[in-house]
Amino acid sequence: MAGILDKFKLDGKVAWVTGASYGLGLAYATALYQAGAKIVFNDIKQELVDRGFEAYKKAGIPVYGAVCDVTNEEQVQAFVKDVEEKVGPIDILINNAGIIKRIPMIEMSVAQWDQVINVDLTGPFICSKAVIPGMIKRGRGKIINACSMMSELGRETVSAYAAAKGGLKMLTRNICSEYGQYNIQCNAIGPGYIATPQTAPLRARQADGSMAPFDRFIRSKTPAQRWGETDDLMGLAVFLSSPASDFINGQVVYIDGGITAYIGQDPSQLDESKFAAEVEKEDVKVADK
Ligand code: NAP
Ligand code: GCO
């Protein structure tokens, strides 16, 4: 008799993780591979795709990868066609690619606003639109969007990002509403604050070696008193990609160490000595945005 763990297996499935050369995308792709999926990834520039190939090779993960800008529908359609011919039909799409610009709203140019909205919201629309017809034909599909705490909460300087991630929550619900009848499940992962290159500026140690004020703030707001690690999100990525979640649709699953459930404590009360031993584990971003 098949056991419950069989419901989490992805054997025979093709999974496309966008922007997966490093960071959360690399973790999601690694997790889905370990669950049995064939991995396909893209990134915005060749040097990132090459970096991804190196990372996957080091991890012993065979991948198909290519440059593809998720905001360019022509490139996305061509990428999907290529994958379907060379690897197979796409069963799972994780819309992971994203950018953030931390600029006070009234100082942000429309071009900067548009860039964030295009990557973080229009990109998932374009990629989902490209894979859903095939999923309808096959009578099944999984789409997982990269939402964020900023799908629910705002903060200074991230207006475009929050607007995009809030919109992405509603796109998740709308794909569920429109395509759930074809056995397509569209959910979202809502990470809290995770230690990746994207958040490295928020955690950089002060010149005197002390904790960054924002680092102290996030730890005081998080019951776990720590930043998330990419490993923390791997299990949820497999779950939402697998038959184990076939009756979950249109949901944002927050994986945040409890930060969205907790009013927080006085940052000055944090005992910094508890974190002194933590080592900065940062990839270096290949290039600034
Ligand atoms: P990230 O720095 O946001 O990287 C995402 C990847 O997508 C990078 O390789 C990036 O390339 C690539 N990318 C950017 N624009 C693209 C485009 N137009 N087409 C294709 N690829 C593109 O990394 P992350 O921290 O691992 O975050 C991954 C996702 O989770 C993002 O959507 C992010 O918003 C979301 N998220 C992150 C956190 C967190 O705390 N880290 C929390 C919640 C949600 P570049 O290196 O050139 O930018
Ligand atoms: C920021 C951070 C956050 C995280 C994440 C939180 O500047 O506040 O980058 O936006 O990336 O989205 O869930």
Return the domain boundaries, the chain.
Answer: 4-192+228-257, 195-227+262-289
Cβ neighbours, 10 Å, residue 106:
6
What is the atom index within ligand 1 of the atom nearest the CA of 19? 7
Q: Clarify whether 161 is annotated catalytic.
A: yes
pLDDT digits (tens, 9 = 90+) for 37-87: 999 999 999 999 999 999 999 999 999 999 999 999 999 999 999 999 999
Which residues are CB-contacts of 63 (< 8 A; sequence separation ≥ 6)?
29, 39, 40, 41, 52, 53, 56
Q: What residue type is 125 in one-letter code?
A: F
| Superfamily for the 4-192+228-257 domain | NAD(P)-binding Rossmann-like Domain (3.40.50.720)
Q: Which of 16, 41, 72, 99 to probe ligand 1 with, by most ligand atoms within 8 A of CB?
A: 99
- Ligand 2 centre distance from Cα of residue 152 (Å): 12
What is the full per-residue pLDDT of the chain (289 aa) written as tens digits? 779 999 999 999 999 999 999 999 999 999 999 999 999 999 999 999 999 999 999 999 999 999 999 999 999 999 999 999 999 999 999 999 999 999 999 999 999 999 999 999 999 999 999 999 999 999 999 999 999 999 999 999 999 999 999 999 999 999 999 999 999 999 999 999 999 999 999 999 889 888 899 999 999 999 999 999 999 999 999 999 999 999 999 999 999 999 999 999 999 999 888 887 775 544 444 334 3
What is the C-alpha to C-alpha distance for residues 73 and 51, in angstroms, rounded to an integer? 24
Q: Give pTM, 2 decimals.
A: 0.96
What is the signed CA dihedral for 22, 233, 56, 126, rounded to 10 degrees?
A: -60
